[in-house]
Amino acid sequence: MAPIIDEASPEGRALLASGVTEQFEIGALLFSEGNKIDRLVDIISGTVSVSRFGLNGRRQILGFMGARQFLGAASTPRYPNSVKALTKVEAIVYPKEKVNSALATSPEFSAHFRELLVKIIESRDDHIFTIGQRSAPERVASFLLHLRTNQARFAPGGPREKSQHIDLPMSRVDIGDYLGVSVETISRAFSWLKQKGMIDFSDSNHCEILQLDQIYKYGGRDDFTEYRGGAL
Per CB under 8 A, residues contacting a second copy are 52, 54-55, 58-60, 62, 73-75, 80-81, 103-105, 107, 110-111, 113-115, 117-122, 124-125, 127-129, 131-133, 177, 179-180, 220, 222-223, 225, 228, 232
The angle, 0 to 180 degrees and rounded to 10, between the axes of the packed helices 107-133 and 136-153 is 160
C-alpha dihedral, 25 to 29 to 232 to 80, nearest 10°: 170
Binding to DNA (CB under 7 A) within 36-95 occurs at none
The entry of DNA, a second copy, none near residue 14 (CB within 5 to 8 angstroms by kind) is none
CA angle 196, 202, 208 (to 5 degrees): 55
Minimal distance, residue 52 CB to a second copy, in Å? 6
- Amino acid identity of residue 78, one-letter, is R
Q: Does residue 23 bind DNA (CB under 7 A)?
A: no
Minimal distance, residue 88 CB to a second copy, in Å? 26
Binding to DNA (CB under 7 A) within 137-166 occurs at 137
The entry of DNA, a second copy, none near residue 137 (CB within 5 to 8 angstroms by kind) is DNA
DSSP E strands: which ranges in the chain?
A: 20-24, 29-31, 39-45, 48-53, 59-65, 70-71, 82-85, 89-95, 165-167, 199-203, 206-209
